[in-house]
Chains A and B, each alone.
Chain A
Amino acid sequence: MATQSSRLAARLMVAPSVIVLFIWMIVPLAMAIYYSFRLYRLISPDRTGWVGFRNYTWFVNSPEFWLAISNTLLLVGGVLVITIVLGTLIALLIDQPVWGQGPLRILVISPFFVMPPVAASIWENLFMHPQNGMLASLAQGLGMKPILFMESYPMASVIFIVSWEWLPFATLILLTALQSLSSEQLEAAEMDGASALSRFRHIILPHMTRAITVVILIQTIFLLGIFGEIFTTTQGGPGSASTTLPYMIFKQAIAAKDIGRAAAGGIIAVILANIVAYFLMRGIGRNLDA
């Protein structure tokens, strides 16, 4: 259907977004690569020079590094599993005929509208605080000792908070997919005597593959860079227990004021993101024949 001229016009219309995105990506990346090979500390700005791969080797050999990598993957994977499993269950529940579906949806979607620093601070202070938090009061009421969430279970707490933030997104996308499923097919299966479980396994789940793919893709993009929630709650601690790769880079840049090392960490993070993206596209990209 496309003619020569419309093809040219189409190229011209795509060009602005490609160009601005390319610049937005390539210029900071090039600068980060440059700094990653330089000695550049804000506390001694006069001492500069090329240091080869020393920033990289420092970063990779740092005792925090592998912990940060595994925390990053744990955060992404944990939140994905929690939001998709709970999201599916909640979507199945809300999809049933219930009274007040409108207001119900409003309640469920609400966490999505709460900005990350507020979400983190509500949970940390009003709920998980070991003296004044509601969960501490509940524990005391039951005669138990309050749980020190941020000290004893920092990663789990962060994963929990981030999952609360992303649950509405997953639920809504899965719910929309569920609602597009034809009821005839389900009724036919029900009449044939298929159990609820096998109906879910053989009809509902295959129908939702595409929606789950979208949830994984979009959430991974946002989760790989999670920063504010950790900054507000655990500050990467105690020690480095909840330090993720973005947070480790942040500590190098802001606390240690070592731009060279932070840049090297940034490049490593970009490489990691690309590896994740590669497997993501490989594994689930074909579900997305756009």
Chain B
Amino acid sequence: MARATSPRRKVLTTLAAWAVALVIFFPVLWMILTSFKTEVSAVASPPQLFTADWTLENYVEVWGRSDYPRFFWNSVVISVGSTLLGLAIAIPSAWAMAFVPGKRTKDLLMWMLSTKMMPAVAVMIPIYLIFLWTGLIDTKIGLVIALMLMNLPIIIWMLYTYFKEIPGEILEASRMDGASLWGEIVHVLTPMALPGIASTMLLNIILAWNEAFWTIVLTTTKAAPLSAFIASFSAPQGLFYAKLSAASAMAIMPILILGWFSQKQLVRGLTFGAVK
């Protein structure tokens, strides 16, 4: 809505908007600042936004005390792997539902979403046992499968809303030219849907990276990602705020930076068909 506004009004709304944004962002900022303080100044009262004794000591110590690179690598493999596997299964499904809809397509979509409503805790023991019996426990492939299944309904729904926006005539034209179904997907649909697929991918990498139930329940050491890393730093009793903050920053920074840089694609992808 680009409407002409008086400069005075623009200044006021800018100030208000920035104030709100800073309040929302403040906890993250405070955590990052605290991670560079000494433990003493981290709990100083009154709180100090800036201190004189900035230090990298906390990062050095957290890095030395735990195997951060392994946790990090596990997070990368699990979130990217589950997203790619999910896309491989979801793209054909979403394509079919968008372009060859049946009477039951909408019900099917809703059913898929409803599988996500089952609280994870409710099936924790059965899934733990299944993973134990099949040897998937504490393996990266096990978590890739679990998180893929968890996010699959979201992936399908997002892709479906994108594919819906692609005009069917284009597909009919390519069909007239004798393109096979697969050829249609690869050469016509995918290029058009690429922005949609990209934002679906981004959102799901973020969801998988931040998943903190199955990643903790189904791993012990080998496959544990950053959510488990941070769980081991919890319960500081007020004594280790700076180190807790440093560990927290290390756990969220990779995805925070990815999110900041891909913000535009992500926001476009976050609509879930909310905008027609």
Q: Please, which residue of chain B has its CB at the minimum distance from the CB of A266?
A: B122
Q: Are B267 and A109 in contact (CB under 8 A)?
A: yes
A67 within 8 A of B: no
Q: A24-B115, A183-B2, A276-B117 are in contact. Are A108 and B25 (CB under 8 A)?
A: yes
Q: Please, which residue of chain A has its CB at the minimum distance from the CB of B3?
A: A183
User: A residues within 8 A CB of B34?
Assistant: 126
Cα(A107)–Cα(B23), bound, Å: 9
User: A residues within 8 A CB of B117?
Assistant: 220-221, 224-225, 273-274, 276-277
A6 within 8 A of B: yes
Q: Please, which residue of chain B has its CB at the minimum distance from the CB of A118?
A: B248
B92 within 8 A of A: yes
Q: Are A246 and B119 in contact (CB under 8 A)?
A: yes
Q: Are B118 and A273 in contact (CB under 8 A)?
A: yes
Determine how close the nearest CB of chain B comes to the CB of A41; give it in whole angstroms.
12
Q: Are A290 and B89 in contact (CB under 8 A)?
A: no
User: B residues within 8 A CB of A9?
Assistant: 96, 100, 181
Q: Which of the 9-residue segments B50-58, B61-69, B135-143, B152-160 touches chain A?
A: B152-160
Count of B residues near A, CB < 8 Å?
103
Cα(A169)–Cα(B28), bound, Å: 16
Q: Are B115 and A35 in contact (CB under 8 A)?
A: no
Give the secondary structure class of B's interface.
Answer: helix
Q: Are A97 and B3 in contact (CB under 8 A)?
A: yes
Q: Which of the 9-residue segments A49-57, A58-66, A172-180 touches chain B?
A: A172-180
Give the secondary structure class of A's interface.
Answer: helix
Q: Are A13 and B270 in contact (CB under 8 A)?
A: no
Q: Are B89 and A16 in contact (CB under 8 A)?
A: yes
A21 within 8 A of B: yes
A249 within 8 A of B: yes
Q: Are B112 and A21 in contact (CB under 8 A)?
A: yes
Q: What 0/1 readout, one digit per residue, does chain B (221-232) give for beta carbons within 8 Å of chain A?
A: 000001100110
Q: Please, which residue of chain B has its CB at the minimum distance from the CB of A17?
A: B93
User: B residues within 8 A CB of A249?
Assistant: 119, 121-122, 124
Q: Please, which residue of chain A has its CB at the minimum distance from the CB of B98?
A: A290
Q: Are B156 and A17 in contact (CB under 8 A)?
A: yes
Q: What 0/1 readout, one digit per residue, does chain B (1-43) give for beta carbons within 8 Å of chain A?
A: 1110100001001101110111011011011001000000001
B245 within 8 A of A: yes
A214 within 8 A of B: yes
Interface residues on A, range: 35 or more
User: B residues within 8 A CB of A104?
Assistant: 17-18, 21
Determine how close the nearest CB of chain B comes to the CB of A252; give it in whole angstroms.
10
With beta carbons under 8 angstroms apart, the residue of B108, B230, B255, B256 that contacts A14 is: B108
Q: A104-B17, A115-B230, A125-B236 are in contact. Are A110 and B24 (CB under 8 A)?
A: yes
Which residues of B177-213 are within 8 A (CB) of A?
181, 206, 209-213
A90 within 8 A of B: yes
Which residues of A241-268 are within 8 A (CB) of B?
245-247, 249-250, 253, 259, 262-263, 265-267
User: B residues within 8 A CB of A90?
Assistant: 20, 24
Q: Are B100 and A6 in contact (CB under 8 A)?
A: yes
Give 12 A-B pairs besides A134-B47, A141-B46, A214-B272 with Cβ atoms closer than 8 angstroms. A7-B102, A13-B93, A16-B92, A27-B126, A111-B24, A132-B238, A211-B275, A228-B212, A253-B125, A263-B126, A276-B117, A285-B110
Q: Which residues of B contact A (CB under 8 A)?
A: 1-3, 5, 10, 13-14, 16-18, 20-22, 24-25, 27-28, 30-31, 34, 43, 45-47, 89-90, 92-93, 95-97, 99-100, 102, 105-106, 108-110, 112-127, 129-130, 149, 152-154, 156, 160-161, 164, 168, 172, 181, 206, 209-213, 226-227, 230-231, 234, 236, 238, 241, 244-245, 248, 251-252, 255-256, 258-260, 263, 266-268, 270-276
Q: Which residues of A contact B (CB under 8 A)?
A: 1-2, 6-7, 9-11, 13-14, 16-18, 20-21, 24-25, 27-29, 31-32, 35, 90, 93-100, 102, 104-119, 121-123, 125-127, 129, 131-132, 134, 137, 140-141, 164, 167-169, 172-173, 176-181, 183, 186-187, 210-211, 213-215, 217-218, 220-221, 224-225, 227-228, 232, 245-247, 249-250, 253, 259, 262-263, 265-267, 269-270, 273-274, 276-277, 281, 285, 288-290
Q: What are 18 A-B contacts with C-beta separation under 8 Å?
A: A21-B152, A96-B17, A98-B14, A111-B27, A114-B256, A115-B230, A117-B234, A126-B34, A137-B46, A172-B270, A177-B274, A220-B117, A221-B113, A225-B120, A263-B125, A265-B122, A276-B117, A277-B114
